[in-house]
Amino acid sequence: MDRLIYTAMTGASHTLNQQAAVAQNLSNVNTPGYRAMVSAFRAVPLTGEGLPTRTFVVDSTAGTDFGSGVLQQTGRSLDAAILGQGWIAVQLPDGGEAYTRNGSLQIAANGVLQTRNGLNVAGDGSIITIPPDTDITIAKDGTISTVPSGTQPGSVVVAGRIKLVNPPENLMVRGDDGLFRTRDGSAVDVDANVVLVAGSLESSNVNAVEEMVNMIAVARQYDLQMKMLQNADSNSRHASKLLNNNA
């Protein structure tokens, strides 16, 4: 009886967490470069005096689907998608470094190249500053070239190069802000093999139809676990009644 109660109770709790992950995926189906969250359950026995019959359910393999999305041409000079594996490095307000696949960039009022949520894009050595009144070109290696508007193409100035990295996927963890970091928080070295595609964005790798099916399945799973708790409670009350009658 204990095993049934604890399995159903913790299963229902973690099912709500799984439902939140599915909702998060659905809300980001149109977010460029978004990586879907994945969840799975497993049973974990408790250890200790008086606990041998109790088992918890835990969301033990919550992680990320690192599969690539579809490249979509936008024609915008400040859009850049990563072809294959790799990440764009950004600077955090605390001075740390994080990584994103969302290559929809913008220029701040002070000329600094930033992400859409206002974080500075990391360069090879420092932040990247774009001169005013210039046309911008992003090369496949992340090099940003600028040409003053209305002048001849010969006056090209290199503003910097976007820091592109490719750490092992098993070292990457998602933060609450949606950005990825290494597990130990350390910065990653530049990888010259990462390739950018200018004028394009990578779509989210979330399959909306699959996530809707998952949402329905998770809701039914939660209902099943609650019924298991009700059955356990009913069995316990009937067992107590029988024992009292036989006393």
* pLDDT tens-place string over residues 86-131: 999 999 998 899 999 999 999 999 999 999 999 999 998 788 999 8
Higher-confidence position of 219 and 161:
161
Q: List pLDDT tens digits, range 194-245.
A: 999 999 999 999 999 999 998 898 888 788 878 877 777 777 776 777 767 6
Mean model confidence pLDDT for the chain: 84
Do residues 103 and 164 share a domain?
yes
Do residues 218 and 124 share a domain?
no
Q: What is the pLDDT of residue 207?
A: 92
247 SS3 class? coil
Full domain range(s) for residue 87? 71-202
CA distances from 221 to 2, 13, 16, 224 (A): 20, 11, 10, 5
* Res 30 pLDDT > 70: yes
Do residues 99 and 128 share a domain?
yes
- What whole-number percentage of the chain has pLDDT above 90? 50
Structure tokens at 76: 């915008």
d(CA 34, CA 40): 20
Do residues 185 and 84 share a domain?
yes
Do residues 148 and 229 share a domain?
no
- Please name which of 225, 220, 243, 189 lies closest in space to residue 4, comparing C-alpha atoms: 225
Do residues 121 and 33 share a domain?
no
Do residues 135 and 82 share a domain?
yes
CA distances from 168 to 68, 140, 172, 226, 235 (A): 15, 21, 7, 40, 50
Structure tokens at 167: 């750490």
d(CA 142, CA 223): 50
Q: Considering its fold, how many domains does the chain have in total?
A: 2
Structure tokens at 150: 């209305």
Q: What is the pLDDT of residue 232?
A: 74
- Please name which of 61, 44, 57, 60 lies closest in space to residue 13, comparing C-alpha atoms: 57
- HSE at residue 217, side-chain half, CA atoms within 13 A, is 9
Q: What is the pLDDT of residue 31?
A: 93
d(CA 210, CA 212): 5
* Res 55 pLDDT > 70: no
* Res 41 pLDDT > 80: no
Radius of gyration of the chain (CA): 25
Q: How many CB atoms lie within 10 A of CB 244?
A: 8
Do residues 75 and 197 share a domain?
yes
Q: Which of 181, 202, 223 is the last residue before a domain boundary?
A: 202
Q: Categorize the per-residue pLDDT at 12 as very low, low, confident or very high, splitting at 50, 70 and 90.
A: confident
One-letter amino acid identity for 44?
Answer: V
Burial 10-45 (b: 16+ CB within 10 A, else e): bbbebbeebbebbeebeebeebbbbbbbbbebeeee
Considering all CA atoms of the chain, what is the largest pairwise distance in Å, rounded to the nearest integer? 101
Do residues 44 and 94 share a domain?
no
Q: List pLDDT tens digits, range 170-200.
A: 899 998 888 999 998 889 999 999 999 999 9
Q: Are 33 and 102 in contact (CB under 8 A)?
A: yes
Do residues 104 and 33 share a domain?
no
Tell how far CA 81 is from the center of its chain: 17
Structure tokens at 81: 């998608």
Do residues 230 and 144 share a domain?
no
Q: What is the pLDDT of residue 228?
A: 76
Do residues 56 and 121 share a domain?
no
Q: What is the pLDDT of residue 224?
A: 80
